[in-house]
Structure 1
Amino acid sequence: MTENTWFGYQAERIDRIILQTARMIFRRIETSPREAAIDLRMKTKVVQLDMAKKDIKGKIEKSKRELDVLGEEISKCLLGESRFTDEMLSQTIDRKKQELTQLKKQQQEIVAEARDQQKIMENLSGIL
């Protein structure tokens, strides 16, 4: 099994599990009292945000590793041992840095949303 096939299989498997969980949650919401349904929705949102935080953290780590590899390739280029030109490496590094910056911005947004969601849950727990 190739690496891409394995990741595709894992993604399909995760998607299937998430969809099953979502269906189960929606069934519970339909039969739950209003307060419990609100609580469940809030907890579901927290779980989704936690998953998003883990996902973006993995993407950031991957992007950093790729930048490290490109940095190593620069020294090879300077020694004339690289199959890439310095211009190609420069452009690729710039793109990777932009990607990393965007990922970090997304991470900050997710963390802020998770913090807001936690505050809402704390406020609602006093009301419900």
Structure 2
Amino acid sequence: MKTKFTYLLLVIIAMTMSFTFTSCGDDDDDVTPGNSSIVGVWEVGDQLINGHPGTLRVEFNSNNKGVISGIYTDGTDPDSYNFEYVIKKEQNGDTFLTIIWTGTHNLIYQENREYEVTIAPTRLVWGNFTYVRK
């Protein structure tokens, strides 16, 4: 009888511990890393940039720095501008992106303005542009 009671007690303890360890979760509100992260290279083609037809390319690095480039299809040399960025995700799910230009020029976007963005695994909607992940 004592052996059955000890066995039953061990089973109950094991079951309790399994529920305890699986019920813990991550409640962080940060932008999810991986495919839904902004980090990566994004492009949108068939745009008029600085008066030239071309493609906008934005690269977001994991160190909160990036480069935006105008790649022109008319043979004009490309333009590239460096920036730093801050991304903020609100509790309601809205995501905001702020660009801080590190040079003296900017391309398309204004400095120190929060832009509401939508980040999906293959698409980034930023202002009037829908970028595709490359």
- Normalization by structure 2: what TM-score? 0.24
Return the index of the structure with the highest Cα Rg: 2
- Normalization by structure 1: what TM-score? 0.25
Kindly indicate which of the two structures has a greater share of residues assigned to strand. 2
User: Whose RCO is larger (CA < 8 A, sep 6+)?
Assistant: 1
Kindly indicate which of the two structures has a greater share of residues assigned to helix. 1
